[in-house]
Amino acid sequence: MQRWEAVSFLKAFCLVVSATLVTWSSSALADGSSIPYGGGGRIQPGEIVKKYNQSGELFRIEGSCQSSCTMLLAIKNVCIDPNATLLFHAALFPNEQGQKPPPARQAAMLNSYKPKLRSYLVSNHYVDTFEFHAISGRDIIQKFGYRACPPK
């Protein structure tokens, strides 16, 4: 194989791999589950919420959903698996510990939650620090008025 053929083959191979990765990540988004986002971090919850609110597709909070994953509670057609665990903390990143949460980021996070849950998180100081505070899916349903997921 000549050099230009090898380069062409490599370019074609990279395009196929890239297309596969884009398809795979898109299918994770279309999956309708919090599982791919459970670890939180910089997952772009606003874009995920917008996509599901536009489609009306059911979105399941299941498994462990921590940090920015909890902002997916803002999806209109969200349901909660009673066995899920949601972990809340202030709108901070780990390197910002010891600081006050930025007001705009804190407000955006809190506005993702129903008023009853938001009030509970604030009054119990769950969103004052980066320390995680767990609430079971059962409690999210029973105490804060979120809908339970139908069986799969």
pLDDT (tens digit, 9 = 90+) per residue, 46-68?
Answer: 999 999 999 999 999 999 999 99
* Residue 61 falls inside a structural domain: yes
pTM of the model: 0.76
Same domain, 22 and 58: no
Distance CA 104, CA 122 (A): 15
Same domain, 82 and 126: yes
Same domain, 113 and 92: yes
When pLDDT is cut at 50, 70 and 90, the band that residue 37 belongs to is very high
Same domain, 90 and 137: yes
When pLDDT is cut at 50, 70 and 90, the band that residue 102 belongs to is confident
The domain of 105 spans 32-144
Q: Given 3-state DSSP classes, what are the helix, strand and coil percentages for the chain, each rounded to the nearest 5? A: 50, 10, 35
Same domain, 129 and 58: yes
Tell which wins on pLDDT, 104 or 5.
Answer: 104
* Residue 149 falls inside a structural domain: no
Tell which wins on pLDDT, 98 or 90.
Answer: 90
Residue 15 has pLDDT above 60, yes or no: no
Same domain, 9 and 67: no
Closest by Cα among 151, 71, 69 to 114: 71
